[in-house]
């Protein structure tokens, strides 16, 4: 007997975890526009506009700038498989899950990987990376700009100089920082970068914007063997995104509509205004959390604005508290990973979700969750947040 299925009716949640973030209504509308062919002249024009907008958001003039078909992890693999060959030396800063993942992807490319361990919840020190290099040369220096697992923002001011000392390309993960923090690819001398659509761009997951500069392209041109992944081979994909318009794969048409609208919204708001908005709401959130006696896991000078990591109070069950938020408030926040699992909440204020309303909702909901477990709430989180807004 044929089973009948009802149309999907997913619940309406407020997404304040580490991603995905809330999707703007106009982005959702763009996703529903008529599908056309991936080689249709009208779609090729949309592709050109996406590339131009991405260059503005990445703050680069790199021609090799476009979204890969796949999530942020596809962008990560794209950069590594195109830049590395077996035996190449890679230096990776590891102070969270995604530094660990970069090292693993590099190893699977056959690279000789030197991992430099850092403290979870703290930025990597350039001197520690330099000491680990021990005077050797490397093909790639890989760093995470915004470590989603810990809420740490990496200072990249000394990274180009260190990469030059090592003779290395500078590869940066900016999955959670793109459109939420300043990211100046050309000014900072970044050779290769990848991101995702589901964080501060507030587009559903499924695309990974990348950008590679002249030095990276020279390395790719000098390869002695084909890229190990046919699907992620930029020498092939760039033929589709470039002037050739050579068929490579069927692009996710409607996802690219959504990205087009998400980028348009970013540029309409303005980068500086958008960065300021993320910082303003993050400050208010932290003020409210601290008023409840909750402690941020990252020092203020190293803390991400789009993602705040806070310690779970002693005696509070992490999973039960997050379930309370979901069941009583339709609110999602994230738990910790690795050594932060069970003792950390990760609260996202990304893109369209970085609003005063969400800050107040989250603080009210967390207060309720703590009280439900008999936790002590020492102050008024809403008043503390209001005070922070008044000083903004």
pLDDT digits (tens, 9 = 90+) for 168-214: 999 999 999 999 999 999 999 999 999 999 999 999 999 999 999 99
CA distance 116 to 100: 10
If asked whether residues 240 and 292 sit together in one domain, one would say no
CATH of the domain at 298: 3.90.1150.10
Whether 392 has a pLDDT exceeding 80, the answer reads: no
Q: Are 225 and 312 within one domain?
A: no
Which of 215, 247, 267 is the last residue in one of the domains?
Answer: 267
pLDDT bin (cut points 50, 70, 90) of residue 378 is confident
For 138-160, write each residue's pLDDT tens digit: 999 999 999 999 999 999 999 99
* pLDDT 10s digits, 325-341: 999 999 999 999 999 99
The residue among 73, 134, 142 whose CA lies nearest residue 111 is 142
Q: Quick one: average pLDDT of 253-259?
A: 98
pLDDT of 285-313, one tens digit each?
A: 999 999 999 999 999 999 999 999 999 99
pLDDT of residue 376: 86
Q: What's the mean pLDDT in 45-53?
A: 98
Of 178, 185, 192, the closest CA to residue 19 belongs to 178
For the cut 90, the answer to whether the pLDDT of residue 270 exceeds it is yes
CA-to-CA dists, residue 377 to 37, 211, 339, 370, angstroms = 56, 46, 26, 7
| Residues 214, 308 share a domain | no
Is residue 68 located within the same domain as residue 37?
yes
- Both 297 and 251 in one domain: the answer is no
pLDDT digits (tens, 9 = 90+) for 102-127: 999 999 999 999 999 999 999 999 99
pLDDT-based confidence at residue 347 (cuts at 50, 70, 90): very high
Domain range for 302 is 271-391
Q: Which of 211, 243, 267 corresponds to the end of one domain?
A: 267
Regarding whether 261 and 375 lie in a shared domain, the answer is no
- List alpha helices for 118-189, DSSP H: 126-133, 159-166, 185-188
Indicate the pTM of the whole model. Answer: 0.96
Write down which residue in 244, 267, 290 finishes a domain: 267
Region 159-172: mean pLDDT is 98
pLDDT band at 3 (very low <50, low <70, confident <90, very high): confident
Q: Are 62 and 213 in contact (CB under 8 A)?
A: yes
**Model confidence at 2, in pLDDT bands (50, 70, 90)?**
confident
The answer to whether position 110 is within a domain reads yes
Q: Is residue 84 part of a domain?
A: yes
With 90 as the cut, is the pLDDT of residue 281 above it?
Answer: yes
Say if 82 falls within a structural domain: yes
Q: Say yes or no to pLDDT of 96 above 80.
A: yes
Residue 139 shares a structural domain with residue 102: yes
Average pLDDT along the chain: 97
Beta bridge partners of 68: 208
Q: Residue 155: which of 134, 132, 129, 192 has the closest Cα?
A: 129
Total structural domains in the chain? 2
């Amino acid at each position: 007997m044929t089973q009948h299925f009802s149309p999907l009716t997913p619940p309406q949640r407020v997404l304040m975890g580490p991603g995905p973030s809330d999707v703007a209504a106009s982005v959702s509308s763009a996703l529903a526009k008529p599908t056309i062919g991936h080689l249709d002249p009208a779609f090729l024009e949309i592709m050109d506009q996406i590339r131009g907008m991405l260059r503005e958001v990445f703050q680069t003039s790199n021609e090799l700038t476009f979204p890969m078909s796949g999530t942020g992890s596809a962008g990560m693999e794209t950069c590594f498989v195109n830049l590395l060959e077996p035996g190449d030396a890679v230096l990776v800063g590891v102070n969270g899950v995604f530094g660990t993942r970069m090292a693993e992807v590099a190893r699977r490319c056959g690279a000789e990987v030197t991992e430099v361990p850092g403290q979870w919840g703290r930025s990597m020190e350039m001197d520690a990376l330099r000491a680990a290099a021990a005077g050797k040369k490397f093909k790639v220096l890989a760093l995470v700009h915004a470590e989603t697992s810990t809420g740490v923002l990496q200072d990249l001011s000394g990274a180009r100089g260190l990469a030059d000392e090592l003779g290395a390309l500078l590869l940066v993960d900016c999955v959670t920082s793109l459109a939420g923090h300043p990211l100046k690819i050309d000014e900072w001398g970044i050779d290769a970068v990848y991101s995702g659509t589901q964080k501060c761009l507030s587009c559903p997951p499924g695309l990974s914007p990348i950008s590679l500069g002249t030095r990276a392209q020279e390395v790719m041109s000098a390869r002695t063997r084909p890229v190990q992944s046919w699907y992620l081979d930029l020498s092939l994909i760039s033929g589709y995104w470039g002037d050739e318009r050579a068929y490579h794969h069927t692009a996710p048409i409607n996802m690219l509509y959504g990205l087009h609208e998400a980028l348009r919204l970013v540029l309409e708001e303005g980068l500086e205004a958008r960065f300021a908005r993320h910082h303003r709401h993050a400050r208010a959130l932290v003020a409210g959390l601290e008023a409840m006696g909750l402690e941020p896991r990252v020092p203020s000078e190293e803390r991400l604005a789009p993602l705040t990591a806070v310690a779970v109070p002693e005696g509070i069950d992490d999973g039960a508290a997050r379930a309370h938020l979901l069941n009583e408030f339709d609110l999602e926040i994230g738990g910790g990973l690795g050594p932060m699992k069970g003792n950390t909440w990760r609260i996202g204020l990304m893109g369209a979700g970085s609003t005063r309303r969400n800050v107040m909702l989250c603080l009210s909901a967390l207060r309720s969750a703590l009280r439900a477990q008999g936790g002590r709430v020492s102050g008024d989180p809403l008043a503390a947040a209001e005070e922070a807004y008044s000083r903004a």
